[in-house]
Structure 1
Amino acid sequence: MPNHNELPKDFLRSIPNDLPVPLDDGACDHLEGLMLPSVNLPVTTGGTVNPSLLSGWIVIYCYPMTGRPGRAIPDGWVQIPGAAGCTPQACSFRDYYRELLALNATVFGISTQSPEDQLEAANRLHLPFGLLSDASFQFAQGLRLPMFEIDGMRLTKRVTLIAKEGKIRKCFYPIFPPDKNIEDVLAWLLKHV
């Protein structure tokens, strides 16, 4: 059984000062111009969503996994470039949700976590938008998103996509720090909407 570290209470909402910065390895260079894969994904607001069929601007931030109070994180999690910071990233999208709506953008978070884990995070963080579960890896594989493995889990690296009418117009990768990604998204949308 691998060693795990308990999450410090404030870890879920803050970005540690010593996080390693992820480097651009070119793993997302192919994404801009691609169509979103046509897959039905469970969403925390109920039912399923096929992002490729949604009209208008769509922001999809992909992340490895949200920490959960009382659940251990994998040993070495904070040392993996780009792994830590999912909860602060989600909270930043929550805090700027009205600005996204004002730009007629629909937002979703997506990870390979189970629908149950996604629902727990959405409820705990009071997210006004849906979290999608890609536990089947259909979305990640359809786009050839960069992934990594730890403790037997296969997780998506942090990537944010902006699409319109199902076509990816902008890709942010790597993302650092995670809680500032919303600023880049809003700046891009303000220029292009």
Structure 2
Amino acid sequence: MDLSRLPDDLPAPAADGAADHLAGARLPALGLPATDGSTVTLDTLGPGRTVLYAYPLTGRPGTDLPDDWDAIPGARGCTAEACAFRDHHADLLAAGAAAVYGLSTQDTAYQREAVERLHLPFAMLSDAALAVTRAMDLPTFDAAGRTLLRRLTMVVRDGVVEKVFYPVFPPDRHAAEVLAWLVRTPGS
């Protein structure tokens, strides 16, 4: 299975309003382990804009995905989305993003393998303990006995969520959507 390509018949996630409360929210004072070995404290991301995209889980070659993964609306496409953020990374920074991070409930070691294999120029953050997920009431779903994040992106400006993209579909074109928004909405 080529994880970087999406099947044509993936079901789109519903616009269920599960992330409506996030716009204007201040990020919590919680630190998350990053794949570069650092701890990223969300309320101190620094000045300017940070792109924080949440995804369910990256697949790994030779490892089965949860049963019926492609049938879960919005689940499939994490590798394709990560590669798109990789490919648009320099453009996102040029358009005003100070940093880009991926966020999932996978552990750091699992995420680190994806960062290395996919040559990602940004760190992934692990919320394996669900601390940020609970503190911000991020939308989730359960698969294979695990709580996973629904795909969404927050553009954070000076510690406050300025823009929320939810639902995200198709995930392989989402980084371009975020880039277009940054270009249309310059920061001051």
What TM-score bracket applies, with the shorter chain setting the length?
A: over 0.9
* 1:16-48: CA deviation from partner (whole Å, max 9, x where unpaired): 101001110110111100011111101011121
Distance 1:91 1:184 in 2: 14
Mapping for residues 95-110 of structure 1, pairs under 5 Å: 95-105=87-97, 106-110=99-103
1:139 aligns with 2:132: yes
* 1:126-183: CA deviation from partner (whole Å, max 9, x where unpaired): 0000000000111111110110111111100001000101100000000100011112
Q: Is the 8 A contact 2:57 2:104 kept in 1?
A: yes
How far residue 54 of structure 1 moved from its aligned partner, in angstroms, is: 1.4
One-letter amino acid matched to 1:184: E
Q: Which residue of 2 aligns with 1:46?
A: 37
Mapping for residues 73-152 of structure 1, pairs under 5 Å: 73-105=65-97, 106-152=99-145
Q: Which residue of 2 aligns with 1:63?
A: 55
Distance 2:69 2:106 in 1: 16
How far residue 104 of structure 1 moved from its aligned partner, in angstroms, is: 3.3
TM (norm. structure 1) is 0.93
SS at match of 1:70: coil
> What's the % identity of the aligned pairs?
49
One-letter amino acid matched to 1:183: A
* 1:32-68: CA deviation from partner (whole Å, max 9, x where unpaired): 0001111110101112111220121000000000001
Distance 1:41 1:180 in 2: 27
Q: List gaps (5 residues or longer) in structure 1.
A: 1-7
Q: List gaps (5 residues or longer) in structure 2.
A: none
SS at match of 1:162: strand
Runs of 4+ in 1 over 4 A off after TM superposition: none
Q: Which residue of 2 aligns with 1:164?
A: 157
TM (norm. structure 2) is 0.95
